[in-house]
Structure 1
Amino acid sequence: MNHRMKGLIPFVILIGLAVLAYTNQDKKSNDKEIDKLKAENERLRTTIKDKSSGMRKQFITSLTFQDNNAEKAMNFYIALFDNSRIIHINRWGKEAPVEEGRIMKATFELNGNLFMCSDSPAHHNWDFSPAVSKYIECDDEKEIERLYSKLSENGEVPMPLDNYGFSTKFAWVIDQFGVSWQLNLQ
């Protein structure tokens, strides 16, 4: 684990404890929150340790949803890709600027790649752009066809599955959530 990551973990814990100190919750509630923070800290340490072996830094794809689809999209992707899991979900509370229970921040893994998603309380003048996409090198014909079928369902297909001369098969799809994917089979 690199020096910056080691320094970041206590900082995250310190911020969490400071927030708890300024709330008007009773001691029992604070103890529960502290236990949650400790558990999250341990999950983050494990994730960082897993990710830091063999890597200097981990880049995380962050998906900001403006239509409250963060959880639905995350679950769709987790079911679609092998070796995937939800790492942690932090939800908006009662006093939030969005509906209670929506995702404030969630981290998840898709086949070894870290992602983060959230339901944005603010509506921005931007959304997902096809100019930035997730590129997947598929292992075989069956995989590319399965991913193409599922990702294009209720979405858009700027480039249908075909041989464009630079690979055996290629497709560019924008899924039902607006996220752009390039699928390639050498």
Structure 2
Amino acid sequence: MQKIVTNIWSNRNAEEAGAFYAGVFPNARSWVESRYPFEGLLEFQQGLAGEPLTVGVDIDGERITLINAGDEFAPNPSVSLMLNFDPLDFDGDAVAARAQLDTIWEAFADGGSVLMPLQEYPFSARYGWVQDRYGVSWQLMLTDPEGDPRPFLIPALMFGGPVQNRAAAAVDRYLEVFEDTELGQRVPYGQPTGPANEDAVMFSDFRIGEQWFMAMDSGVEQDFSFTCGMSLEARCEDQAEIDRLWEALSAVPAAEQCGWLVDAFGMNWQIVPKNMGELMERPNAFQHLMPMKKIIISDI
């Protein structure tokens, strides 16, 4: 089971976006996972009755979820999705790896916006950062095959604005809270760079279970930070694990709703049972869930 799933808030177009991503990546697929009920909706949800609620997307074995809602939130580059194009995954053919990188880049750039141009950088022979037509940010990198192996898709957290220079503290906390964790690389800036101080994190990665994540402090001033537009969904084995993670992570009581919380570093989490889809098939499950803060499985 994938322990943590990246969730993306979509403005009434989750099914369309899922189909787009499934068409961009080889061996990817999307599907409607759940739908809004016809009864028990809040006033702002009335127009979504019967429409998709969550759309699942599988990209090279990594699951992401699109939340079909309104325009209350939107993704921003504080959370992006890193794509590693490793020549070893193409039988050592760097030309083929680069060609697939360029093809996917073109699909994302069409109707999107370029945040860092696709070109050679000191850390990669080919890298670019792009925000696609749905507002989701992607980093595409041709990977050095001699480096430590990493998955194709890695969620990346950028700490800026009110959480500037807190990447190391956040990662240390996540390594402490979750089970079976590992710190990979951690590279400091070494000198003040924009709002980043010399001890701030220029690059780091860490593992939770079988999944890898990236974290860094922004080296330029940012007018955005983490929101519900991109959240991390932690799938729990039972109520005891829900209780433990909720107690360890929740730091903003006013943000607690329907299993959502905000941690001390501004990151938005959903702490849910691993069989949430099955539970939501119970009679009146949606109505039972909506008033909850922390999810109580027995009350759904």
Amino acid at match of 1:2: D
Q: CA deviation at 1:5?
A: 7.7
> What's the counterpart of residue 174 of structure 1?
262
Aligned to 1:109: 207
Matched, 1:89 2:221: no
TM-score by length of structure 2 reads: 0.42
Q: Secondary structure at the match of 1:2?
A: helix
Structure 2 Cα separation of the partners of residues 175 and 128 of structure 1: 10
Instruction: Give the structure with the larger helix fraction.
Output: 1
1:106-154 CA-partner distances (Å, limit 9, x unpaired): 01112222111111122212111112111121001111100011110x3
Give, in whole Å, the separation in 2 of the partners of 1:156 and 1:109. 28
Q: Is the aligned partner of 1:60 residue 2:154?
A: yes
C-alpha distance after superposition, 1:50-80 (max 9, x if no partner): x4xxxxxx32111111121000000000111
Q: Distance in 1 between matches of 2:91 and 2:222?
A: 32
Partner of 2:59: none
Structure 1's unaligned 5+ residue stretches are 19-39, 52-57, 161-169
The correspondence of residues 37-186 of structure 1 with structure 2, limited to 5 A, is 44-45=147-148, 47-48=149-150, 51=151, 58-66=152-160, 67-94=164-191, 96-97=193-194, 98-152=196-250, 154-156=251-253, 158-160=255-257, 171-185=259-273, 186=275
Is the CA contact 2:233–2:271 (under 8 Å) kept in the aligned structure 1? yes
Q: Residue 3 of structure 1 corresponds to which residue in structure 2?
A: 90
Change (3 A) 1:81 1:4: farther
Residue 167 of structure 1 is matched in structure 2 by none
Question: Could you tell me whether the CA contact under 8 Å between 2:256 and 2:262 is conserved in 1?
Answer: no
What is the alpha-carbon distance in structure 1 between the residues aligned to residue 89 and residue 254 of structure 2?
Answer: 41
* Structure with the larger strand share: 2
Distance 1:15-1:2 versus aligned 2 partners, 3 A rule: same
SS of structure 1 residue aligned to 2:255: strand
Return closer, same or farther for 1:129/1:59 CA change in 2, 3 Å cut-off.
Answer: same
Query: Relative to 1, partners in 2 of residues 1:5 and 1:171: Cα closer, same or farther, differing over 3 Å?
Result: farther
Runs of 4+ in structure 1 off by over 6 angstroms are none
Aligned residues of 1:156 and 1:175 also touching (Cα < 8 A) = no
Tell me the distance in 1 between the aligned counterparts of 2:166 and 2:192.
20
Identity %: 24
**RMSD between aligned alpha carbons?**
3.0
Amino acid at match of 1:104: M
Q: What 5-or-longer segments of structure 2 have no aligned partner?
A: 1-87, 99-120, 126-143, 276-300
Contact 1:93/1:101 (<8 A) preserved: yes
